[in-house]
């Protein structure tokens, strides 16, 4: 069974939604950032101290590993779509769902301390401009994270259960 792969901006709800979808569909939940930390033996902020390119290298390794698994719900890092190779890997065995959450909502509750690329909140707008079209381009489904968690999960499950043409 194909993986369900969640993409979107940092703070859009990939982890929260992913855990609920995994629970409802009796699938394993996988967080790529946690896999990166296992591979590197360091936290994400520590990895970023060696530079974003090193982080992206670790991200690709983790993506290759988790994409070999099946029947999972995978929460990706917000920048995974910057590397077309990563997208190719996750598409091979996954249905990609873009969690689109309004930037203002993200800014209300994001923890910038644990997110190296968001140490300044204005960076979120820059990342949004840089990534939004890529999220749209690569996803099989887009879901707006501007309603209840139950509605979002229901929409995702309904999409997954639709007959494929």
The whole-number pLDDT of residue 109 equals 74
- The arithmetic mean of pLDDT across residues 18-35, rounded, is 96
Tell me the backbone φ, ψ of residue 159, rounded to 5 degrees.
Answer: -60, -45
The whole-number pLDDT of residue 116 equals 53
Per residue in 141-164, pLDDT (tens digit) is: 999 999 999 999 999 999 999 876
Domain boundary assignment for the chain? 3-154
- Pick one of 3.40.630.30, 3.40.50.300, 3.40.50.720, 3.40.50.2000 as the CATH number of 3-154: 3.40.50.300
* Triad 129, 105, 7: Cα angle to 5°: 55
For 93-125, give one letter per residue: b (16+ CB within 10 A) or e. Answer: bbbbbbbbbebeebeeebebeebbbbeeeeebe
* pLDDT band at 66; cut points 50, 70, 90: very high
Strand partners, 31: 75
Residue 138 pLDDT exceeds 80: yes
The whole-number pLDDT of residue 118 equals 53
Residue 103 pLDDT exceeds 80: yes
87 CB-near residues (< 8 Å, 6+ apart): 80, 81, 96, 138
Per residue in 68-94, pLDDT (tens digit) is: 999 999 999 999 999 999 999 999 999
* Triad 94, 76, 55: Cα angle to 5°: 125
Residue 119 pLDDT exceeds 70: no
Residue 27 pLDDT exceeds 70: yes
56 CB-near residues (< 8 Å, 6+ apart): 79, 82, 83
- The arithmetic mean of pLDDT across residues 15-28, rounded, is 97
CA distance 54 to 144: 31
The whole-number pLDDT of residue 127 equals 86
At residue 70, the 3 state secondary structure works out as coil
Would you say the pTM of this structure is higher than 0.85? yes
CA distance 5 to 98: 9
Residue the block writes with tokens 């995978």 = 74
């Amino acid at each position: 069974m194909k993986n369900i792969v969640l993409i979107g901006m940092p703070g859009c709800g990939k982890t929260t939604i992913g855990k609920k979808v995994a629970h409802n569909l009796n699938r394993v939940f996988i967080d790529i950032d946690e896999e990166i930390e296992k591979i590197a033996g360091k936290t994400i902020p520590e990895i970023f101290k060696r530079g974003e390119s090193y982080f992206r290298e670790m991200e690709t390794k983790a993506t290759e590993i988790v994409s070999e698994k099946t029947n999972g719900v995978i929460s990706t890092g917000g920048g995974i779509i910057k590397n077309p190779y990563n997208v190719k890997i996750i598409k091979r065995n996954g249905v990609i769902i873009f969690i689109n959450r309004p930037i203002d909502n993200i800014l209300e509750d994001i923890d910038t301390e644990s997110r190296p690329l968001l140490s300044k909140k204005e960076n979120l707008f820059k990342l949004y401009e840089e990534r939004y079209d890529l999220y749209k381009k690569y996803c099989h489904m887009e879901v707006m994270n501007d309603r209840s968690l139950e509605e979002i999960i229901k929409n995702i499950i309904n999409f997954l259960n639709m007959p494929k043409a």
